[in-house]
Amino acid sequence: QVQLVESGGGLVQAGGSLKLSCAASGRIFSINFMGWYRQAPGKQRELVAVISRGGITNYADSVKGRFTISRDNAKNTVSLQMNSLKPDDTADYYCNAIDGTRELWGQGTLVTVSS
């Protein structure tokens, strides 16, 4: 059983920063992609950022230049540094990983940005 455990969510004022972290544990084969998705109330879940095992990244247009994704392959962790946060960034943030043919999800961590 593989688990993804997120941490780092919370309440921050607009313009502030937060860092989310996610650690995978359990019987892991080889995690190819790790990423972050978010879901705001009443909206569909959307991709925020993804990073390949080799370090290639992709970001949603709405977060480019403000968010940075990184990972540690040896520790099976992924982080999301979020700067210049906006109220529109308020959402539940979910860690995602592709391990072999399995798609894994964390339980989510809430990020609230006040104006």
Hey, what amino acid is at 86? K
CA-closest candidate to residue 31, choices 95, 92, 107: 95
Q: How confident is the model at residue 30 (pLDDT cuts 50, 70, 90)?
A: confident
pLDDT at 78: 97
pLDDT, tens digit (0-9, with 9 covering 90-100), for 86-109: 999 999 999 999 988 899 999 999
Task: Indicate if the pLDDT at residue 67 is higher than 90.
Answer: yes
CA-closest candidate to residue 60, choices 87, 41, 82, 32: 82
Specify the length of the chain in residues: 115
**Residue written as tokens 């941490």?**
7
3-state percent breakdown (helix, strand, coil) of the chain, nearest 5: 5, 60, 40
